[in-house]
Structures are given as structure tokens and as C-alpha cells.
Structure 1
Amino acid sequence: MIGRLRGIILEKQPPEVLLEANGVGYEVQMPMTCFYELPDQGKEAVIFTHFVVREDAQLLYGFNNKQERALFRELIKVNGVGPKLALAILSGMSAQQFVTAVEKQEIATLVKLPGVGKKTAERLVVEMKDRFRGLSGDLFNTVSDLPRPVASNTVQDAEAEAVAALISLGYKPQEASRMISKIAKPGSDSETLIRDALRAAM
């Protein structure tokens, strides 16, 4: 089991990061709420990971702390929720927003997430309520919105990258394009576009 990686960020392609640790490049998929917190390319990062082995693939999911990983692990225990859907859920809302939605039984909020229907939302509320008791620490701290440097890529590249990231999170191509076009602003980088689009969807 690969539980933690420390290395240099070689590439950032939302929602995936390529991290070099001891000469090996690890492709790690991260929720966008964690991806926003990563250092710049070329800097060192520490990522807590969850390793998934399937017949057709071996996948690494990454998080900024153990509590976020613990929440992910509890999510994938819910009937009908796999790693991809858990990633989409934690990309669409912060841990604090998810906890609040579950505790207040806000089904309407949860069904706005890609891949979450009414039955899945109801299961999340029922099954996750009791699991929050074991999760503590800085998991539920709100993430401050720090200004981020504008990437050097063009507006078209940033928008295309943002659309691709939303599709990988479970949105349909037409829906992803529509979401980005609604919030696109001159000079926005892909991370800003993704964050704004996910917020607008909620």
C-alpha cells in the first residue's frame, strides 16, 4: 500500500498531478479542493494517498492531509459510491460543505454533484452521519481563497483544460463546456475556472 508520497511536482493537469519521488513519477488524482492547495510546479509537495488496484488499472488518489483521505475512504464504503464518484463529490464541495449537507440532510444540494442521484444522496445522508464521529483534526477547516498566479497559457488553453477536468470529474462534455463558458473571464487560469464552475453548479 502506498500511503504517502513526498516529491517534486513535475506536471499539474487537473485533477491529476505527476509527482517525482526518488526517481519515480507517480500519477495521482486529487479532488479539486485539494488540487487548489498544491504548490507550484517544480516545488516539493507531500501527498497522502489511497491506492486502488483494479483488474485493468492501478490508481493513486491523493489528499493534503490524513483527514481528507479518511473522508474519502469512508465515502467509498457507501453503497454505489466508487473512487471516481468520491473524487467528484470532494471536488464539488469542501469537506465542511459536505458535512453540513449531510448533517442538515440537504438532498437537493447533494444531487447537484455529478453522478449523484436522489437515491445516492439519500444513502450518503444515512450512511455518512455516523461516520463523521471518527473524523477530526483540520478536515473541517475552511480553505482560504488565496490569490493564485495566472498561468502563462492562453485563455483557450485554460478553458479547454478546465472543461477536460470537469469531464474527468463526471460532467458530460456539453455540460462542462456550458459551465465554463458561463463563468469564463479574461486572464483566468484553469484552476480558477474549475473552482468557479464548481461553485456556480452548487
Structure 2
Amino acid sequence: MITNVRGKIIKIGVDWMDLDLGPVGVRINVPSSSITELGRIGETITVFTSFQVREDSMTLYGFESEESKASFESLISINGIGPRLGLAVLSMFSVSDLMHAVNTEDQLAFSKVPGVGKKTAGRIILELKGQLTQELSESDLGESHTEVIEALTALGYSFSEVKEAVRLSASSSDLPMEERIRSALEHLSG
């Protein structure tokens, strides 16, 4: 498995970039919304990757953060969502926007993605509901913070912001949920 690559950007397309890794050059498919965030031609960058092997191809998909990569892998685990459609979803949504759309069950937002109809939008919401926050909370924060994480991401904060704020206020896990949310919000605003 190839988890990340570091190389110099030599060519950029609408939803891909070629990296020079020394003796080898690779093409990495990336969300079109991430092209400018990842870097410019000539810059050396690190890209978090998901290596997908199909019967007729081996393809690298790249992301600017581990959270984006995890969201992509969650999306393509859904029946009927392949890597191309997963990439299209992440081209339309940031990780926090994706989580917000899932938590608010916003089918209309998902159906704006080319290739996603009402039925597929419903399936994405059904499959991802709770999965993204569960992965985040189980990773290193514990189950007691799941509701706090869901509440803060529903307010539009990103995974990384919420994760850090909850971690900083983790000592308050014996407090009522309202107090834990207030404590995490203080860390987010401070």
C-alpha cells in the first residue's frame, strides 16, 4: 500500500498532477478543488494517497490531508460509489462540508455532484451517517466525545479543528454534554 508520496510537481491538469519522485514519475488523481491547495509546478509536496487496484488499472488518488483521504475511502466503501465518483464528491465538498451535509441529511447538496442522483445521495447519507464521526472519535478521543464532535461539525467546524478542540478539553469528559461543547467552543474561538 502506498500511503503518501513526496515529489516535485512537474505537470498539473484539471483533476490530476504528475509528480517527479526521482527515478520515477507518477500521475495522481486529486479532487479538482484541491489542485491549488496542494502546490504549484516546481514545488516539492507530500500527498496522502489511496492506491486503488482494479482488474484493468492501478491508480493513485491524492489528498491534501489524512482526513480527506479517510473521507474518500469511506465514500468508495459504499456500494455503487467508485473512486471517480468519490473524487467528484470531494471536488464539491470539503471534509467539514461533507460531514455537515451528511449530518443534516442534505440530499440536494449531494445531487449537485455530477453522477449523483437522489437515490445515490440517500445511500451516501445512510452509509456515512455516524461513520465519519465514529472513526474520528474512536481513533483517539473515545466514545464519550461523539456527541460533542457531531454537534461542532454540524456547526461547520472542520474535522481537524474539532479534533484538536475536543482533545484540548478532553479532561472535562465527566461534565454534561452542554458544558463539554462550551469548553470545546472556547478552545475553537480562543
TM exceeds 0.5?
yes
The CA deviation string for residues 134-159 of structure 1, in whole angstroms up to 9 with x for no partner, is: 137996469xxxxxxxxxxxxxxxxx
**Cross-structure match for 1:110:** 110
**Cross-structure match for 1:41:** 41
Superposed structure 1 runs of 4+ greater than 2 Å apart: 135-142
> Matched residues in 1 for 2:105 and 2:37: separation?
28
RMSD of equivalent CA atoms: 1.9
CA contact (8 A) 2:67 2:95 kept: no
Aligned residues: 142
More helix by share: 2
- The amino acid across from 1:57 in the alignment is S
TM-score, normalised to structure 1, is 0.66
> Matched residues in 2 for 1:56 and 1:139: separation?
36
> Matched residues in 1 for 2:59 and 2:24: separation?
15
- The amino acid across from 1:24 in the alignment is V
> Matched residues in 2 for 1:28 and 1:14: separation?
11
Q: Which moved more, 1:131-140 or 1:112-121?
A: 131-140
**Cross-structure match for 2:147:** none
> Matched residues in 1 for 2:106 and 2:65: separation?
26
The CA deviation string for residues 41-75 of structure 1, in whole angstroms up to 9 with x for no partner, is: 01101001111111211110001111110110011
CA contact (8 A) 2:72 2:86 kept: yes
**Alignment partner of 2:129: what SS?**
helix
CA contact (8 A) 2:2 2:49 kept: yes
Which runs of 5 or more residues in structure 2 are unaligned?
140-156, 162-190
Q: Which protein shows a greater Rg?
A: 2
> Matched residues in 2 for 1:52 and 1:90: separation?
16
CA contact (8 A) 1:68 1:139 kept: no
**Cross-structure match for 2:19:** 19
**Alignment partner of 1:113: what SS?**
coil
Instruction: Call closer, same or farther: CA 1:85–1:130 in 2, change over 3 Å.
Output: same
TM-score, normalised to structure 2, is 0.70
> Matched residues in 1 for 2:33 and 2:159: separation?
12
Matches within 5 A, 1:30-69: 30-69=30-69
> Matched residues in 2 for 1:2 and 1:22: separation?
16
Structure scoring higher RCO (CA < 8 A, sep ≥ 6) equals 1
